[in-house]
A and B are shown apart, each in its own frame.
Chain A
């Protein structure tokens, strides 16, 4: 179960604003987190608290395939992202590095900045404690749940390769 305060953004948040290319000469999560969202919201880094939940509109994470983007968001303390939809490479990357994300157009539209929200990743359900509203999402396919259970693709692959 994940619970936190909401930081909200709009549609088409691209990976260039999540982590600008000028910082891609490193992949240290802490250094990346220090510049997370900088070109879209320069206040993010100072106001984000560990456990906070990011909520956004359509096509979140579009653009470049840089895994630095979900890495920066995860390292900044964000515990989960809820969006109307995700760009597909970002979606893969988030699952592969073990950053919980959930697609729910209804929840992502309703939930506002500052709300207190709880997410059940396995069920795909979301509870807004500020308004009391509950949203039923689609549960993740079993295969993706296994990746998340293993805390990312690398552990998943590792487990399987040692078994073989």
Chain B
């Protein structure tokens, strides 16, 4: 029986010729990641193991992005302990405020993941790097601790669902709409324990930023990982960002999939996920009249340069609605700088939006834009659970940067076409 991309990568990292779904294996890790919320717990566990050193100081990355710049004294204490840990164990890829960005935008940008890698991160959206043709999955702090000590992690080899993409996206439609469409179709547990493999002729029509956004939300369908076939765009991205050698794994022709979906990108419309689950999707023409209080554009899902460009296209020469707080947070310092050089920040500020330093901040209801009781936000983030962005009685609607920017202008959930005529 042939193997899927994920199965091949796992087999290789476990030193095996062949694996099949359900096999429990131990795989060697190319990168172990943590943030300011999960690393403190991992450090404690790491110390309990009692080793003197980490397995490889170049293969660990720590990014304090959640409650930074420190939102309160307790967060400051947590960040301090993480910083001291990074210093003590000489962790090469520790990114201090000023260098830091939202981890899942930063790690690929720094070239720390290349095709064929096995990556674990104590953050559920570690699945983002599947866009690069790597096996990458979120774990908890204890796995991170064991990974830092041993350079290995245990995995159950997943079954896979194949998504065959064809066609080309229409104007104002992006990777975010595609993944929301898919989650709406298969549900928040539609890919539970499974791998989502993206392939097909349509792949070439998706930018790397689109792919990062889609892989990022694989976890929102319950998946273990999302993974994209490697093509010229991937190679181009990797060569631009990394010096490391990479390996391209292609699924065998006779690889087994538990399901195959064919998706015509040309048919996808702008899509919005209603509270309180990412699967509650409606296309923009079915949304109805939903007034909003806040718009958040950014996060590891949609804080990349193309996302900011899409928002700027809509906000240029326009003003945000006087009662809609519009918060834009570029995902990394590099993206921030690029947005400045391209004049996007000026457009945002002139439109009446605020632009924040990179942080997870509002995405997880941490700081920088918490919702009050009964308030509604349109966000380009990835989760709209109860209380995710603040008060348990507030609401989050997930959408693309284009829809979010259009909604900021009109004060209600709107299609970009309504604003840019």
Contact = CB atoms under 8 A, between A and B. Distances in A.
A64 B24 CA distance: 23
B222 A88 contact: yes
| Chain B, interface residues (CB within 8 Å), range | 35 or more
B149 A65 contact: no
Interface in A60-83: 62-68, 70-71
A141 B154 CA distance: 13
A42 to B, nearest CB: 9
Contacts of A64: 123-124, 364, 383
Contacts of A40: 386
Most buried by B among A24, A27, A39: A24
B38 interface: yes
A152 interface: yes
A134 interface: no
B388 interface: yes
A92 B140 contact: yes
A22 interface: yes
B403 interface: no
B138 interface: yes
B141 interface: yes
B49 A158 contact: yes
B160 interface: no
Contacts of A62: 188-189, 222
Contacts of A66: 37-38, 140
Contacts of A124: none
Contacts of B123: 64-65
Contacts of A144: 24
Interface in A118-164: 141, 143-144, 152-155, 157-158, 161-162
Given A22-B365, A25-B74, A39-B386, A161 B139 contact: no
Contacts of A153: 142-143, 146
Nearest to A84: B189
Contacts of B41: 27, 67-68, 71
Most buried by A among B49, B122, B140, B224: B140
Contacts of A87: 189, 192, 222
B145 interface: yes
Contacts of B365: 16, 20-22
Interface in B57-89: 66-67, 71-72, 74-75, 78
Interface string A29-41: 0000000000110
B167 interface: no
A71 B122 CA distance: 15
A14 B364 CA distance: 13
A97 B122 CA distance: 14
A161 B78 contact: no
Minimum-distance CB pairs A-B, first 8: A93-B140, A25-B74, A67-B140, A96-B142, A65-B124, A59-B189, A21-B364, A39-B387
11 contacts: A16-B385, A17-B386, A21-B366, A27-B41, A27-B44, A64-B123, A88-B192, A96-B142, A154-B146, A158-B50, A161-B50
